[in-house]
């Protein structure tokens, strides 16, 4: 059911994507839509340029020095609180567990089967086995 819906959505996106592309690039209505979008873009550009010009002419209102110092103190306090929260919620490191496993049992005289191609194998075969443990990191650099 889900696959059918996905296929329908993919087909809908493909078909209507090409129809929209054809309308936008190859029809007179699409050419008018391009002109309107270009005009709207120019309008946004002109409004932004006017806003920049007005902002450049107006004087900058700077806070008093006492307010600036208070602002930096508030920011420093926020930074310290966030560092404490980050430190408290960090994941706790765990020591690696040493793996102690028993070697799997095999039958004498069993040989490795040679399968060609894709096939399902019901019985398992262990060709090699190695216990994978962890080694401790040596604290000294080999100096005596």
pLDDT digit of tens for each residue in the chain (144 aa)? 567 888 888 888 999 999 999 999 999 999 999 999 999 999 999 999 999 999 889 888 776 777 777 888 889 999 999 999 999 998 887 776 666 666 666 666 666 666 677 777 776 666 666 666 666 666 666 665
Distance of alpha carbon 85 from alpha carbon 127, whole angstroms: 51
pLDDT given at position 34: 95
| pTM: predicted TM-score of the whole model, two decimal places | 0.37
**What residue spans define the domains of the chain?**
2-87
Q: Look at the alpha carbons of 7, 9, 12, 18 in this order and tell me if their dihedral is positive or negative.
A: negative
| The two three-digit tokens of residue 47, written as one number | 């409004």
| The two three-digit tokens of residue 67, written as one number | 């307010």
Is 68:74 a contact under the CB 8 Å cutoff?
Answer: no
pLDDT given at position 76: 93
Residue 33: other Cβ atoms inside 10 A: 13
| CA diameter of the chain | 93
125 contacts: CB under 8 Å, gap ≥ 6 = 110, 112, 113
């Amino acid at each position: 059911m889900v696959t059918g819906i996905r296929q329908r959505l993919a087909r809908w996106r493909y078909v209507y994507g090409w129809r929209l592309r054809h309308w936008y690039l190859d029809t007179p209505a699409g050419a008018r839509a391009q002109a309107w979008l270009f005009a709207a873009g120019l309008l946004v550009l002109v409004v932004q340029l006017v806003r920049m010009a007005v902002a450049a002419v107006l004087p900058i209102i700077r806070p008093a020095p006492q307010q600036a110092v208070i602002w930096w103190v508030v920011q420093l306090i926020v930074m310290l609180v966030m560092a404490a929260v980050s430190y408290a919620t960090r994941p706790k490191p765990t020591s690696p567990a040493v793996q102690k496993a028993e070697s799997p049992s095999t039958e004498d005289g069993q040989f490795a089967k040679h399968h060609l191609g894709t096939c399902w194998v019901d019985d398992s075969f262990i060709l090699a086995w190695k216990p994978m443990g962890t080694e401790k990191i040596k604290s000294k650099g080999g100096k005596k």
